[in-house]
Structure 1
């Protein structure tokens, strides 16, 4: 089943009415992605990063979640589903405010979002989602390129992102949100 025909803009209510087997993302009510399943290389990078974050955050207040889980970027607890026009499914995210973790979706902007590029999503991750995450107030945004084995990290300064660095497969990066957390990218990117 797909989105209702004849509509140009959708709400989260339209989306949840499609059933659990249907996945898509929307910005300002416009569907931006209904991607095929990820490649093994893409999923391996997501899984390795998820493992790093899960181990680091074990026993701490912040929680890491990997896709598929909906994030209603500009929603609050009281927001009606018909009023939600922006929802995404980041590859990985960290949420430090437990009140944002709803029963069925994340309510509002996560603290950190990681998108792992694939050929079908690169434009959205670098442009559409980048701008939406910035506008929503996601404090740290990573764009991970599994094919070039690199990680671009952006941090929110005021209302705008600034590039904090670009790291390659031989680098150890420090997670800006957690200054005592480092990731050896040799464990993430494998030949």
Structure 2
């Protein structure tokens, strides 16, 4: 039987949180949204105005920054993270699963392998599929009309993101411009563009874990679409850290797709 146990939280000082936040490249506003702490409180803590936050506040920030996680007991293969739990280990102790374990899963099981951890996913909602379907149609129509060479692909498709045997993700939607990255079975290496639709169980993974993974792997553009908040957060990753850009849009905005020159998605015209 798989036994999941929560590791005791390490005592965290504010400097540790600041370093972690910088590593992940997230803003105070994003951290407030993920943690459930007010933006004003987050601003005060990270500016140094509040030096002794309440324990509940610190615990929420520690959790939101991925500094609490589950671990497996010695002798058990328990490093399996299941939705809707948002726990995920984000330190140097990688999980024990590999590509061979991932490939041996039953075909009907939806899962991702992230740094050696298996993350099992629920079936997407109708609204999730409607959003991705509309986005796919707009991008595909533009590429075909422009006679472009890039390919837009819907999930589920395996992406061996780091080109190793410890990470395989299934983005909701992706664009690959180097067709040599596809072997007909899965994508090897980073797509040029990735879109993820946020659900209650995937929020921390999409905003923190995958943001970091996509950035370091070489994804050029990453969209996080939040149906409940009716907003789209767009990240553009340059080759240098100073080229990192983030912009938040609403479902009433026109959003340019940098990966596809000339393409603008007018969310107000989508049937959502």
Answering whether residue 104 of structure 2 is matched by residue 14 of structure 1, we say no
Displaced runs of 4 or more, over 3 A: none
The structure in which a higher percent of residues are helix is 2
CA deviations on 1:126-171 (whole Å, 9 max, x unpaired) are 0011100011000001111111211111111225473342111211
Shifted more, 8-17 versus 66-75: the winner is 8-17
Which structure is richer in relative contact order (CA contacts within 8 A, separation 6 or more)? 1
CA deviations on 1:75-95 (whole Å, 9 max, x unpaired) are 1xxxxxxx5101100000000
Deviation of residue 188 (structure 1)?
3.4
Residue number among 39, 45, 66 corresponding to 2:131 in the alignment: 45
Q: Partner residue of 2:82?
A: none
Unaligned runs of 5+ in 1: 76-82
Q: Partner residue of 1:186?
A: 268
The structure in which a higher percent of residues are strand is 1
Deviation of residue 179 (structure 1)?
3.0
Cα distance between partner residues in 2 of 1:189 and 1:150: 15
Secondary structure of 1:157 counterpart: coil
Cα distance between partner residues in 2 of 1:101 and 1:167: 31
Cα distance between partner residues in 2 of 1:189 and 1:144: 15
Flag the structure with larger Rg: 2
| Structure 2 length-normalised TM | 0.62
Q: Partner residue of 1:72?
A: 160
Cα distance between partner residues in 2 of 1:188 and 1:25: 29
Deviation of residue 56 (structure 1)?
1.2
Cα distance between partner residues in 1 of 2:129 and 2:227: 10
Cα distance between partner residues in 2 of 1:122 and 1:104: 28
Contact 1:155-1:162 within 8 A present in 2 as well: yes
Cα distance between partner residues in 1 of 2:78 and 2:246: 40
CA deviations on 1:9-44 (whole Å, 9 max, x unpaired) are 21111111123222211221112x211111111111
Contact 2:232-2:248 within 8 A present in 1 as well: yes
Answering whether residue 120 of structure 2 is matched by residue 34 of structure 1, we say yes
| Structure 1 length-normalised TM | 0.87
Q: Partner residue of 2:174?
A: 93
Secondary structure of 2:113 counterpart: strand
Equivalenced residue count is 179
CA RMSD of aligned residues (A): 1.8
